[in-house]
Structure 1
Amino acid sequence: MSEAAAVIEETATSTTEGELTRAEQAGPIIKNHMYMAAGLGVVPVPLVDLVGFMAVQYDMTKKIAGIYQVEFSKERVRSIVLSLLGSVLPVALTHTTASLLKFVPVLGTFATALSVSTLGTASTYAIGKVLVQHFETGGTLLDFDAVKMRDYFKQQFEVGKKAAKTTK
């Protein structure tokens, strides 16, 4: 199994008899949302993928927050996601450009589907991992500091890009 595949296949181990840690419970949620993001990347309609990625990441955040019993705020999630994605701005711009290239009949759609899918999957993975890290230290959505988490987000984004290649 490759390193990237191992990242996706998070094997749950028990803390006490049969109980999973909250981080272990979050693993399959992140993985499932990565698959959703990968599928959205091949949607042939420009910018629909971007809206879809936001919806997938929003849903994932809501589910992870539920595991940690953290109060959920739609506005705060939007702010966090946009701030984290801003830390990889050149990648985000590439993602938008790639999505817009879907306007080019046939060739544009096929040429961009893989890159858009990879970027959406990687960002979904990274956001999930950042949230788990933050919640594991007792954080909430209200005290989330995107600036402090940017380096970890960038690191997880790179791991997510590798994992995205095995997600398709």
Structure 2
Amino acid sequence: MVSKTDTPQDKPTPQDKPTPEVEAAAAETTVEPEVQEAVISLDLDAQARKIIRHNCYWSMGAGLIPFIFVDTAALIAVQLKMLKELGDLYGVPFKANAGKSAVTSLLAGAGSGYLGYKTVTSGVVRRLVRKTPVIGTAITLATMPAFDSAFTYAVGKVFHRHFASGGDFLSFNAKKVQSEVNETIEEVKAKGVDAAQAAA
């Protein structure tokens, strides 16, 4: 019959037990929950900034479309793409109607930057520009892509903060952030997207 008593190799030896020094070192290297949350937050922040910057470049392409209303539709489509990506990052369900309503409200509230371009490149002026393609191209390249990129950054910035603080599409209030969006547009038009992100 096999004895049930422990054999010498089964018995724990002093070497098997962690020393007080090892236990203390392990305790010191334990990551606190607050630190883990901070690291996750920084990682999400970096990813959100990347999403916003990437979509700013997409919006510049939309600004080169020479057809009125088509370029606006393309710009809004880029905003919705960006908002869905930011929502996915923060686990916020995408609401297309609420997102489109917020974007169009912010775009209308941007006022002079967007509507000014539309005034210059519509109606009689647009027909005159068609007769001078070089001038028309220069006007388009100098105005709309810059505004579209700045607007995209501004929208991304306020939604990024909103989602990061626990908000969703239905709780977003465009009127409350309109003045900030307008100020950010002017800042980005003057400094560029990268400089604005670095200063944020």
TM-score (structure 2 length as normaliser): 0.67
Higher mean displacement: 104-113 or 66-75: 104-113
Corresponding residue for 1:12? none
Cα drift, residue 102 of structure 1: 5.1
Corresponding residue for 1:42? 64
Aligned partner letter, 1:82: T
Q: Does 2:137 align with 1:109?
A: yes
Matched residue pairs, number?
Answer: 152
> Rg bigger for which structure?
2
Percent same amino acid among aligned pairs?
32
Cα drift, residue 20 of structure 1: 4.6
Structure 1 alignment gaps of length 5 or more: 1-14
Contact 1:43 1:113 in 2 (8 A): no
Which runs of 4 or more aligned residues in structure 1 lie more than 6 Å from their structure 2 counterparts after TM superposition? none
Structure with a larger share of its residues in helix: 2
Corresponding residue for 1:79? 101
Q: Does 2:132 align with 1:132?
A: no
Higher mean displacement: 117-126 or 154-163: 154-163
Contact 1:77 1:141 in 2 (8 A): yes
Where relative contact order (Cα < 8 A, 6+ residues apart) is larger, the structure is 1
Q: Over aligned residue pairs, what C-alpha RMSD do you find?
A: 2.5
| SS of match in other structure, 2:87 | helix
Aligned partner letter, 1:75: N
TM-score (structure 1 length as normaliser): 0.78
Q: Once the two structures are superposed, what CA deviation does each residue of 1:7-62 show, in whole Å capped at 9, x if it has no partner?
A: xxxxxxxx53x985322211111111111111222233444322211111110011
